[in-house]
Amino acid sequence: MKIREIRAIGLRGATPEGGWSDELERDDCVHTLIGVITDEGLTGFGSVFTNDDLVKSALSVLEPLYLGESGLEPERVSEKLHQNMFWLGRGGTITHTISGIDIALWDLLGKATGQPVGRLLGGRYRDRVRPYASVLMRAPTALAEYLQQLKEQGFRAFKIGWGPFGRQSHALDEEIVKAARDAIGTDVLLMVDAGGSDAGWNNGYKWALRTARMLADYDVAWFEEPLQPDALQDYILLRQNAPVPIAGGEVFTRRQSFQPWLQAGAFDIVQPDVTKVGGISEERRIGWMAEENGIRFIPHGWNTAVGLAADLQLASAFAGTDLVEYLTGSPYVDEIAAESWVLDEDGMLPIPDRPGLGLTLDMEVVEKYSSGEPFLK
């Protein structure tokens, strides 16, 4: 089974707010779907956290390397693409695009063998996992109301992030966290994401430590991205002194970028994003590296239904990965999948055991959010 063609289509029209200082508009494209089409008629799907114009440009550069390649050897083919692209720079658009190709190749391998990706990764430790509702911070009252609605829908874990947090005052930060904890109660998980990878973030170690001490008063399960993403020494110091676990790593690409952070003990929880980091092949290696260094591996998942499906398969294949991120209020998660994501009575999300990622895309909805551009026609 050979790769005949790779297509890309950007999602627009319902892009959710990200809380960024230069905020996203609904017609902005930050998520692109990938389709790897084979000479035997099978297609695998992937997702890329990058604008579609950039992805299509990257595909034109990668095309001589992937055309005619095996559609059943994701790790080898992806590594071939990485190795041959070092001269164009590690990370960035090229690596993000390879991420989508790799996810699609694992989907293909599962479909060809009749197995879910999690089993192909070595075996399934679980058939369901707890999703945490990922929520953009807002004014305390409005945030509390939204969290209560999500709890009524069955969620039992929540992450609030970005928005005004760390950008106005310590008093407002605590008011937001208190409102969230009061709204969801003490019997569920609450995580806080400062969004330190935002443009212009200038809060440092002392702010992060003071804030971490405040978060401990509200039993926060982890404090995510409290510092700029390159502040390795500050992260090491913060993890040593903070009373809550420290999480990060969502903006890194390839395992080589994670290695010094994991070996130095900069995180309690590492959060690679499968749609950025190099795909399932690369994320699996990072997960193994994290386990070897005593660090929890919980994927970052602010992306699409395809990205969520990949995270679910990864969660099934790692004994310690007991949470996945669920971006709330995004049609790119809730609508483009042909079957709805449904929580069970315990607030858990079933992990598909169908071949590949176990996901079927609703192509009419995909085209609706791609300005009518055909994907596989």
Residues 250-279: tens digit of each pLDDT = 999 989 999 999 999 999 999 999 999 999
pLDDT of residue 157: 98
Query: Is the whole model's pTM more than 0.95, yes or no?
Result: yes
Low-confidence ranges of the chain (pLDDT < 50): none
Tracing tokens 């874990």 back to the chain, one arrives at 157
Residue 128's nearest CA partner among 297, 335, 353 is 353
150-154 contact pairs (CB < 8 A, 24+): 150/328, 151/183, 151/184, 151/185, 151/188, 153/343, 154/343, 154/344, 154/345, 154/347
pLDDT of residue 86: 83
The token pair at 136 is 């953009």
Instruction: Please give the DSSP secondary-structure letter assigned to residue 16.
Output: P
Q: What's the CA gap between 314 and 97, in Å, rounded? A: 19
pLDDT of residue 24: 83
pLDDT of residue 207: 98
The token pair at 3 is 């790769």
pLDDT of residue 377: 61
Q: What's the CA gap between 181 and 118, in Å, rounded? A: 34
Q: What's the CA gap between 76 and 118, in Å, rounded? A: 18
End-to-end CA, the chain: 20
Instruction: Please give the DSSP secondary-structure letter assigned to residue 99.
Output: H
Q: Which residues of 288-304 are buried (b: 16+ CB within 10 A; e: fewer)?
A: ebbbebebbbbbbbbbb
CA distances from 328 to 148, 237, 331, 371 (A): 13, 33, 9, 22
pLDDT of residue 236: 98
Could you tell me if residue 341 is left (phi over 0), alpha (psi between -120 and 50 degrees) or otherwise beta?
A: beta
